[in-house]
Amino acid sequence: MTGFEAAAATAEYLRSIDPGREARAIAYTQGAHWILLWALLLKILADWLILRMRLLERVRDGVQRTRLRPKLAAFCCVSVFLLANWVILLPWAIYAEWAREISYGLSSQPLVPWIAQGAIVALFAALFLGLLATPVYALIRRSGRRWWRWSSLVVVVFAFVGIVVGPVAFGSLFNTAKPVPAGPVRTAVVALARDAGIPSDRIVVSNSASQTNRYTATVVGGPGFATIELSDEMLRSGADLAEVRAVVAHEIGHYVHHHLMILALVVAFLGTCGLWAVDRTFPYIARLAGRPDLSIGDPAGAPALHMALVTFMLLTSPIIVTAQRAVENDADMFGLSLANEPSGAARSLLRTVDFRASRPSALEETLFYDHPSIAHRIERAMQWKAVHPGQEGALR
Ligand SMILES: [Zn+2]
């Protein structure tokens, strides 16, 4: 082809990022890595406090005094524990998840609705995980040291519900989804859906921008009930059609290749490994926390179990984000072949530079990035353009 250089084109795009904006993005992104570590330490501290207060013993004994079955004690202990945890960590969450987003200009949601929404999510999580814990504690009582093998079946079901079904339920709680309004964007979206062989009424506009100023589109749901949501921010900020086509085609890739199902399987597998790790480390952790009297089958020991689990989750998070990067890469390649918009893809990626530093080190990308870096994604789009000369934007 005549002189199109993928590397030079990539460098040109990256040069167009304002240096001040890039510096803020780096500060935001690297600060977020440290926040993972501080969050772990604070969670462990909150767990330790709840253990020392013997809060869950009181819940357990209170429930058992009413001669209700131990199942209810497990449900109540875990739900109360998670709610107490949320309350203790609320000041930290306000800093890390609200004030910080505001200070970087990534959110404009007022504090009170933010807390109200967080409380609703915490309540649902407490009920959901309380329900998850009930069969797990029953299995610990019944099957002794083999409990974690049987519990893996429970984890598979809950990973599917949490990742594939949950966002649909929560999305409808906080956001209203409308059909894409008539106009050039709708025409482009319908054409892409037709080319990909999916129903175009599965692509909607969501008002998620009231919670975030981010420029996003997402897939929620699973086979038969999946939906692609475009944030109204994306339409409002005057995206050009090549960008819209690139972004929607990427999301169609997630939809068609069932990426959420794949990620749910990865989470379920790691969750099973996590249960095994919890089983092995629980006695040591209970001793370290000053509560050697607690056994793993006692729901009052849920905070010690949580300590083991959150540590395991942080240590294995590079595996999860690597799986996420793999499916994102797959969606990028699908999107390029469907929409044929490498330049549109590059321009849409440049819009995301504020919340994901564009050129992380290889180690940083491997450990922390749930999407390939912007530099890598633009590079691949330009490589694609180099081997498909003169076809850009061509409707099929
Ligand atoms: Zn994606």
The answer as to whether 11 is a domain residue is yes
**Assigned domain for 1 exists:** no
Interval between CA 277 and ligand 1 midpoint (Å)? 31
Give which of 355, 370, 358, 362 is closest to 317, Cα–Cα.
Answer: 370
Q: Tell me the CA–centroid distance for residue 331 and ligand 1, in Å.
A: 6
Rounded CA-CA distance 60/63 in Å is: 5
List, in order, residues 6 or more apart from 149 with CB less than 8 Å away.
143
Residue 28 one-letter amino acid: Y
Pairing of β 177-179 and β 217-220: unpaired
Expressed in angstroms and rounded, the spacing between residue 216 Cα and the centre of ligand 1 is 9
| 211 Cα to the center of ligand 1, angstroms | 19
Cα(369) to ligand 1 centroid in Å equals 12
Distance from the alpha carbon of residue 372 to the mean position of ligand 1, in angstroms: 10
CA Rg value for the chain:
23
- Surrounding ion ligand 1 within 5 Å at CB are 328, 331
Q: Is residue 326 part of a domain?
A: yes
CA of 26 to the centre of ligand 1 (A): 21
Q: Is residue 396 part of a domain?
A: no
Distance 77 CA to ligand 1 centre (A): 37
Q: Which of 354, 355, 344, 340 is nearest to 389 (CA)?
A: 340
Cα-to-centroid distance, 259 and ligand 1 (Å): 9
Strands of 177-179's sheet, edge to edge? 177-179, 203-206, 227-231, 217-220
Query: 283 CA distance to ligand 1 centroid (A)?
Result: 41
Cα 83 to middle of ligand 1, angstroms:
32
Using a 10 angstrom Cβ sphere, with 0-12 exposed, 13-18 middle and 19 or more buried, the burial of residue 242 is buried
Can you read off the two tokens belonging to residue 291? 């509560």
> Is residue 392 in some structural domain?
no
Distance CA 313, CA 199 (A): 37
Q: Ligand 1 centroid vs 373 CA: distance in angstroms?
A: 12
Predicted local distance difference test score (pLDDT) of residue 126: 95
User: 324 is in which domain, residue-wise?
Assistant: 6-387
Q: What is the pLDDT of residues 68-113, one digit of tens each?
A: 677 789 999 999 999 999 999 999 999 999 999 999 988 888 999 9
pLDDT in tens, 307-348: 999 999 999 999 999 999 999 999 999 999 999 999 999 998
How many C-beta atoms lie closer than 10 Å to residue 225's C-beta? 11
Please tell me the distance between residue 250's alpha carbon and the centre of ligand 1 in angstroms.
6
CA separation for the pair 8, 200 (Å, rounded): 37
Q: Note whether residue 336 is domain-resident.
A: yes
3-state secondary structure the chain: CCCCCHHHHHHHHHHCCCHHHHHHHHHHHHHHHHHHHHHHHHHHHHHHHHHHHCHHHHHHHHHHHCCCCHHHHHHHHHHHHHHHHHHHHHHHHHHHHHHHHHHCCCCCCCHHHHHHHHHHHHHHHHHHHHHHHHHHHHHHHHHHHHHHHHHHHHHHHHHHHHHHHHHHHHHHHHCCEEECCCCHHHHHHHHHHHHHCCCHHHEEEECHHHCCCCCCEEEECCCCCCEEEEEHHHHHCCCCHHHHHHHHHHHHHHHHCCHHHHHHHHHHHHHHHHHHHHHHHHHHHHHHCCCCCCCCCCHHHHHHHHHHHHHHHHHHHHHHHHHHHHHHHHHHHHHHHHHCCHHHHHHHHHCCCCCCCCCCCHHHHHHHCCCCCHHHHHHHHHHHHHHCCCCCCCCC
Query: Residue 169, SS3?
Result: helix
DSSP symbol at 165:
I
* Average pLDDT along the chain, 396 residues, taken 10 residues at a time: 80 95 95 96 96 92 76 91 97 96 90 95 92 87 82 84 76 74 82 85 70 66 75 68 89 90 91 92 92 91 94 95 96 95 93 89 96 96 90 62
Using the mean position of ligand 1's atoms as its centre, give its distance from the Cα of residue 155 in Å.
25
Instruction: Identify whether 45 is part of a domain.
Output: yes
Q: Look-up: residue for tokens 């995206």? A: 239
Output the CA 338–ligand 1 centroid distance in Å: 15
Distance CA 250, CA 206 (A): 17
Asked whether residue 302 is domain-assigned, the answer is yes
Structurally, how many domains does the chain consist of? Answer: 1
93 alpha carbon to ligand 1 midpoint, in Å?
Answer: 26
